[in-house]
Structure 1
Amino acid sequence: MDFTTEQIETENSTIAVMILAAGASTRMGTPKQLLPYQGRSLVQYITEIAIASVCHPVVVVLGAYAEQIRPEIARLPISIVENLDWARGMSTSINRGMQFLQNQPQNIEAVVILVCDQPFISTQIINRLVEAYHSTKKALVSCEYAGTLGVPALFNKMFFSELAALSGNRGAKQIINNHLDRVFSIPFTLGNIDIDTPKDYEQLLTIISNENIY
């Protein structure tokens, strides 16, 4: 497919955010979505970051522990989508989120995909993805950290069918790797910090306390 500037520009369109929060947190031993962070739960913090960005609508995909997590974000101006197949891998959450977005009345031009265990994601990072998308006319804009490209990342609608067709544990990074020649990247140095284990969480709290990043 020839990704031209004309294809990327769409009138009366909007850019959505999809937050993937369906995992079982098996290595953490407790739902990491509910870990206290910045005076709220991690999932609430990430969701509020997305709400404050230039993107809308904001969709949060829940799966494991959905009933425990839902009350943390139910009052926020978002859509909650439940993925009943979450145990089959991250791809099913992306599939479910894309299905929801493609059934919305708005013209969704692109989607920014986030995961809920990157604690240093910010509204500024999300907005920079959107700014780069508009200024470069690239159909895919990814964050770069630790020598790799990954989420958060913005995907133009020409990738929606590929996102919806992902399977197993393959996430959005698979799409990025399939189209490296079409990617524009922005730096996100702290993007390599994610929370998978109790040790990761302890180290995160130490970083925040010692370095006063915020």
Structure 2
Amino acid sequence: MTGDGAALGRVTGLVLAAGGSRRLGRPKQLLPYAGGTLLDATLATARRCGFGQLLVTLGGAAEQVEETVDLSGTEVVRNPSYGEGCSSSIAAALPAVHDSAHGVALLLGDQPTVRPADVAALVAVAAHRPIGVTAYDDGIGHPFWLGRELFGELATLHGDKGVWKLVDRAGDDLAVHRAAGPVPPDVDTWADYERLVGGAREAR
């Protein structure tokens, strides 16, 4: 476990992995990465955080993902409306969040190089705020913090950028954890995937 185990024990980790991979043309959750799949690597990172609960949303290629990916230690939430964007996955997951959770740490299923230490640090600075983000050297990225007081509004959001709209209008309510290095790469296209794999090779 990384960071403040007590604090993270009162947090639900939510990994968004329901996308249909339209731009890539094949399920990105199942792309080979680090000896397993891309989603395997992201879930391994999420498990290392020591969340009290870990949810993962599935939609596109859900059956293949469940057959292939190690989902142990997670609770799977199926999102039949995954084509409507990330906000639909957040809304689908909210009813499954433990009543004892103070909020949700939001992670992307195609972003395996997020550091557990940054998740813990974000929770430390944001746990008493409604919303928080991670500020890397080149911009804002995940993990995000979504406090329980936002759940009602989160359930009504639409599209891929719904949470970003909440960030944009948060003002002084926005908590920020400053993390070293660039925003961790995610995978939307084949070129993105090749860059991610190339970066992993260089880091060895």
**Superposition TM-score, scaled by structure 2 size:** 0.86
Deviation at 1:74, TM superposition (A): 5.3
1-structure distance, mates of 2:202, 2:116: 23
8 A contact 1:50–1:126 mirrored in 2: no
RMSD of aligned C-alpha atoms? 2.1
2-structure distance, mates of 1:73, 1:81: 15
8 A contact 1:28–1:198 mirrored in 2: yes
2-structure distance, mates of 1:159, 1:35: 33
Q: How does 1:80-159 map to 2 (within 5 A)?
A: 80-101=76-97, 104=98, 106-134=99-127, 137-145=128-136, 147-159=138-150
SS of alignment partner, residue 182 of structure 2: helix
Deviation at 1:155, TM superposition (A): 1.5
How much identity, in percent, do the aligned residues show? Answer: 28
- Stretch moving more, 203-212 or 35-44: 203-212
Q: Determine the structure 2 residue equivalent to 1:179.
A: 170
2-structure distance, mates of 1:133, 1:15: 11
1-structure distance, mates of 2:141, 2:195: 22
**Superposition TM-score, scaled by structure 1 size:** 0.83
Q: How does 1:16-95 map to 2 (within 5 A)?
A: 16-73=12-69, 75-95=71-91
2-structure distance, mates of 1:194, 1:210: 17
Deviation at 1:36, TM superposition (A): 1.4
8 A contact 1:59–1:78 mirrored in 2: yes
- Number of residue equivalences: 196
1-structure distance, mates of 2:132, 2:153: 16
Pair 1:15–1:154, CA change in 2 (3 A): same
Deviation at 1:119, TM superposition (A): 2.9
What are the ranges of 5 or more consecutive residues in structure 1 without an aligned counterpart? Answer: 1-10
8 A contact 1:138–1:182 mirrored in 2: yes
Pair 1:161–1:147, CA change in 2 (3 A): farther
1-structure distance, mates of 2:89, 2:33: 24
1-structure distance, mates of 2:158, 2:69: 27
2-structure distance, mates of 1:200, 1:75: 24
What are the ranges of 5 or more consecutive residues in structure 2 without an aligned counterpart? Answer: 1-6
The superposition leaves residues 71-96 of structure 1 with CA deviations (integer Å, 9 ceiling, x where unpaired) of 24455111000001111222111110
Pair 1:190–1:37, CA change in 2 (3 A): farther
2-structure distance, mates of 1:31, 1:209: 22
SS of alignment partner, residue 108 of structure 1: coil
Match of 1:191 among 175, 183, 199: 183
